[in-house]
Amino acid sequence: MSPSAKTRTARTTAALIPPPPAFDVEGFLERTGVGRTLVDLKKNQVLFSQGDGADAVFYIQKGSIKLTVVSQRGKEATVALLNAGSFVGESCVAAAELIRMVTATGLTRCTLMRIERQEMVRVLHEEHALADLFVNFLLARNVRIQEDLVDQLFNSSEKRLARVLLLLAQFGKEGKPETVVPKISQEVLAEMIGTTRSRVNFFMNRFRKLGFIKYNGGLEVHSSLLNVILHD
């Protein structure tokens, strides 16, 4: 067989071989498999505690997770609230976090996918689709942390509360008022914005009287609450 004929045969054979199936990111994060197990978490149940070994990443399928940190003097602060579609404990992937720096607790009933660190690292190296999703999440978290810092440094407690409520309602994703789920205590809100519960109660009552929020079996946040942030 001539070289040209061999080349044509090779091309024909290659054309007959179907390409490998695309990596199913959703399936990886939603279904159990090698190094992946489902975790059901009750409301107020701890997923992992500050000081625990960091050996897995979690992906929130349903529910919301609260991240808290406790100082050496025993003072607790809420540093983040994460909803479905977020990763939790992702820092262990870099191998820099050998122990957990925060405590993760179910703010509601949650379903999470637990992914062993080695499995997560392997798939991130091999599958660009998951790596892109993970990097986008990390970048968004980094931007959120910077915004939180600026908010804490320069805005009043009233503006900080308005911003937290809008973020909890995921305002802007649907273009309409949404019910804040889960129900969050005023103590948690006070921890997040660095003020007292009495101040939070005062501002919440004020927002309600102005029509910015409404209690109707839950907390409904209206787009008009943006006026609090935009007003100097």
- Domain layout of the chain by residue ranges: 3-152, 156-230
Q: Between β-strands 56-62 and 87-88, what pairing exists: parallel, antiparallel or unpaired?
A: antiparallel
The residues facing 116 across adjacent strands are 56
- Residues listed for the chain: 232
State pLDDT tens for residues 20-35.
667 889 999 999 999 9
Q: Other C-beta atoms within 10 Å of 149: how many?
A: 10
Is the pLDDT confidence value at 13 over 60? Answer: no
Over range 51-72, report the average pLDDT.
93
* Residue 19, C-beta contacts closer than 8 angstroms, at least 6 positions apart: none
Q: What is the CATH number of domain 3-152?
A: 2.60.120.10
Q: How far apart are the first and last CA of the chain?
A: 82
Q: Specify the pLDDT at position 167.
A: 83
Is the pLDDT confidence value at 223 over 60? Answer: yes
Q: What is the pTM of this model?
A: 0.79
DSSP-derived 3-state class of residue 107:
coil
Which helix (H) or strand (E) segment holds residue 95: the answer is: none
pLDDT bin (cut points 50, 70, 90) of residue 76 is confident
Q: Specify the pLDDT at position 124.
A: 95
156-230: which CATH number, 1.50.10.150, 3.10.20.600, 3.30.1310.10, 1.10.10.10?
1.10.10.10
Q: Specify the pLDDT at position 40.
A: 97
pLDDT bin (cut points 50, 70, 90) of residue 17 is low
Over range 90-105, report the average pLDDT.
88
State pLDDT tens for residues 186-204.
888 998 888 999 999 999 9
Q: Specify the pLDDT at position 188.
A: 87
Q: Specify the pLDDT at position 171.
A: 64
Over range 150-159, report the average pLDDT.
89
Which helix (H) or strand (E) segment holds residue 180: the answer is: strand 178-180
State pLDDT tens for residues 163-182.
988 888 876 555 555 566 56
